[in-house]
Amino acid sequence: MTRELHRRPGFALFSTLAIYLLAFAVLGWPWLSGKLTIPWDAKAQFFPEVQFLASSLAAGESPFWTANVFAGWPQIADPQSLIFSPFHLLLALLGPRPNFRTTDFVTFAYLFVGGLGLILFFRDRGWHAGGALVAALAFAFGGSAASRLQHTGQIISLAYLPLALWLLARTLERASWRAGLAAGVLAGLMALARDQVALLGLYVLAGFALAHWLGAAHPVSRVLATLGPLTAAAIAALCVAAVPLVMTALLAAESNRPAIDFLSAGRGSLHPAHLLMLVFADLYGAADPAVDFWGPASFDWKAVFGPVDLFIAQNVGEIYAGVLAPVAVLGLGLVRGLLWSREIRFFAIALGCAGLYALGWYTPIFRLMYELFPGVALFRRPADATFVFGMLLAICAGYLVHRYLSRPLPATNRWQRPMEAVSASAIVVAAAALAVAIDKMGAALVPLVTGLLFAAGAIGMLALADRMNGKNPLLAAILLAGFMTGDLAWNNGPNESTGLAPSLYDALRPDTRNETVALLKAKLAETAAPDRRDRVELTGIGYHWPNLSLSHGFDHLFGHNPLRLRGFSRATGVGDTIAVPEQRTFAPLFPSYRSTLADLFGLRLIATGLPIERIDPALRPGDLNPLGRTPDAYIYENPRALPRVMLVRDYRLADFEELIRSGWPAVDPRQTVLLEHAPTRHSGSGGPGDGTPRIVRYANTEVIVEIDAPSGGFVVLNDIWHPWWRADVDGHAAPILKANVLFRAVAIESGRHRIRFAFRPFLGAWEQLKVKLRQ
């Protein structure tokens, strides 16, 4: 890394990119053709977010707040809203109705540019095009990028890292300000994902810069030479990421997110036995519906090896990146010592660190990282490091292929050949022994044989590419890219975790003919009124239903998100999602669908996957009106649902924390509003309000209410209170009171008034931050 970057003859960039594009298209075709779609979180969590973004922009509205989930939610602060994803933003700007195919295309576009970054990085170093293609394909279609394709946010974080690395290398080695600014922008965009992959990616970039400094004969001189461009990079990154990061930090501080202790984080560790899947794809049957999963944390595993206190999905351990990677790393990298070569040493060390991090509590290293490295304690699953591990493995494997094709290699000694054989045999024996111990040799036989055949093919293909390389380096690159494509297509192709039929998610389409969605929309239209905007609840219908309201523009009381406002979470008692009936729990303040809080939410329609009395045993006959039965759900009506906006004349002070613990008092919310603090101005004097408020505008970030209130009182808006909302009455600023534990209220005097609620996230966050800094 001390030399100037240069191009060596033989790296035909456009030909290499053409090969990469063709191989990428072949591997991505099952999704890009529209035959399959990326399932699970990509549809349940992220597709509705993209649809909301697109429909908001098409309507000329701000996407920074939504009323469609959780009775109101600050999208601008939510890492999963995709507002700050450039490719998704571009897709949203292209039309109001992105479809499954185009949103999947965006995911693959991110992976494509990530692989492109590796090719450019290899080219700058004069490394062989064959190695660059191996690295790019292993990156884009290997490891967690393949097995966890549905985790859109982490895919985005990962995709920025190779490009940022390429530009950072140029910044350091050329002292380039332009490259520094570009690297900073990409690092800032990566940070905007606000997930563990982004955090680890930033550590990789920082470590790369540190290695560049320490690798010089005169480190101080090198630091001084690069300090200016790196400062420009840091400023650019802060300009891109600082404000959203602060907003997310403020949201997290007010959210349900608990502190993550070491034991909680450790339950998300990668078991060491998962490392066998670097050689044997799907060894434990995680991706095969015909095989009962028997890997770490399964019942079969526990029956033999005892309790394994892990809390990770089956596919987290799917880290196969093509068999060329372990063949090269084991044979050339470890046994022959090429991973300690100066030009790859940093990546070898980083690969080891990422692997130790991913193993979590199975090594003492993660405990040190958890205690010492800023940000690590914020995340609950160290196995997410497999995303970054996969990229580093791809770089190391590509480099080793480059070294193999760029002779001469170091001479082997008499111990290295036997060590290669012993190491390879140990891996095979370990995998077979596990299968025998758990009595799963029948299930493991196909992955074991397949792995051995592909490993033999990889060795043969390397030898053939080496022979071709002297005559035609590009042909050698084509052979390796072709082998990688076949390997990854066979072993990392679509499965039940990564590619399912689009028809399974039809209810998410804005133009769906789904009977449940159609009935809900029809009933909401029937109850529409100037003061009403009724909410629905979708419980226990399916994994992709809780965020469906973002696609269809109606208001769901809950949603699918690991973050929720703390007060809302505690008051309702509901967790991340309500995809299955067991997830619909209740709380003292919301003990049943027959409750004051349910009415205040305006919860008019409830759709459940089971008869509702099996979800809420406290219901009595007549509490809810059955409306119908669709193929998906039972649908009920709550006739007591209150309007979205009300005029209330009287108030009473209350301890909201006590109400969350004990339940609603004997107070009629139509007559009396509960407040934590006495208002500075109040002209009401008991009894129900004598005016009916009208909602004249209800947009994402603005609600306008008009009312004629001869006696004054409180205008109560049954949307979630949040500190970034502001209000004015007849153009004059007015405080928004936190009312009835969760909602908003504005005190008004007698007469005609126009009350405007406006979401002001930048002003609100700045004022909230100043308060916290003073504390």
pLDDT tens digits for 445-490? Answer: 999 999 999 999 999 999 999 999 988 999 999 999 999 999 999 9
1, part of any domain? no
4, part of any domain? no
pLDDT digits 0-9 by tens, 695-707: 999 999 999 999 9
* Residues sharing a CB contact under 8 Å with residue 591, sequence separation 6 or more, in sequence order: 618, 663
Shared-domain flag, residues 592 and 668: no
Tell me which DSSP letter residue 322 carries. Answer: -
Cα 139 to Cα 196, 479, 763: the distances in Å are 18, 18, 41
pLDDT digits 0-9 by tens, 195-209: 999 999 999 999 999
pLDDT digits 0-9 by tens, 25-67: 999 999 999 999 999 999 999 999 999 999 999 999 999 999 9
Q: Is the pLDDT of residue 17 over 50?
A: yes
Shared-domain flag, residues 368 and 486: yes
Count of structural domains within the chain: 3
* Per-residue pLDDT, 638: 98
Shared-domain flag, residues 184 and 211: yes
**Domain boundary, last residue among 435, 459, 491:** 491
Tell me the residue range of the domain where 103 lies: 13-491
Question: What span, in angstroms and rounded, lies between the C-alpha atoms of 697 and 713?
Answer: 21
Q: What percent of the chain has pLDDT over 90?
A: 89
Shared-domain flag, residues 581 and 717: no
504, part of any domain? no
293, part of any domain? yes
Q: What is the mean pLDDT of the chain?
A: 94
Shared-domain flag, residues 59 and 86: yes
| Average pLDDT over every residue of 738-756 | 97
Q: Is the pLDDT of residue 76 over 50?
A: yes
- pTM, two decimal places: 0.95
Shared-domain flag, residues 320 and 338: yes
**Domain boundary, last residue among 458, 491, 524:** 491
Q: Which residue has the tokens 């540019």?
A: 113
Q: Residue 408, preceding bond cis, omega within 30 degrees?
A: yes
Taking the chain, what is the end-to-end CA distance rounded to the nearest angstrom?
A: 47
| Average pLDDT over every residue of 238-263 | 91
193, part of any domain? yes
Q: Is the pLDDT of residue 99 over 50?
A: yes
Q: Is the pLDDT of residue 82 over 80?
A: yes
**Domain boundary, last residue among 491, 523, 544:** 491
Q: How confident is the model at residue 730 (pLDDT cuts 50, 70, 90)?
A: very high
Q: Is the pLDDT of residue 684 over 70?
A: no
| Average pLDDT over every residue of 415-431 | 89
579, part of any domain? yes
Shared-domain flag, residues 529 and 477: no
Shared-domain flag, residues 471 and 538: no
SS3 753: strand
Q: Which residue has the tokens 């044989």?
A: 449
pLDDT digits 0-9 by tens, 337-346: 899 999 999 9
* Per-residue pLDDT, 686: 44
Question: What span, in angstroms and rounded, lies between the C-alpha atoms of 100 and 428?
Answer: 41
3, part of any domain? no
Shared-domain flag, residues 563 and 483: no
Question: Are the C-beta atoms of residues 633 and 516 closer than 8 Å to each other?
Answer: yes
Cα 637 to Cα 11, 520, 598: the distances in Å are 67, 10, 12
Shared-domain flag, residues 595 and 669: no
245, part of any domain? yes
| Average pLDDT over every residue of 306-322 | 92
Q: Is the pLDDT of residue 260 over 50?
A: yes
Shared-domain flag, residues 591 and 699: no
| Average pLDDT over every residue of 145-169 | 98
Shared-domain flag, residues 106 and 170: yes
Q: Within a 13 Å sphere around the CA of 193, how many CA atoms are in the beta-carbon half? A: 26
Structure tokens at 571: 């008051």
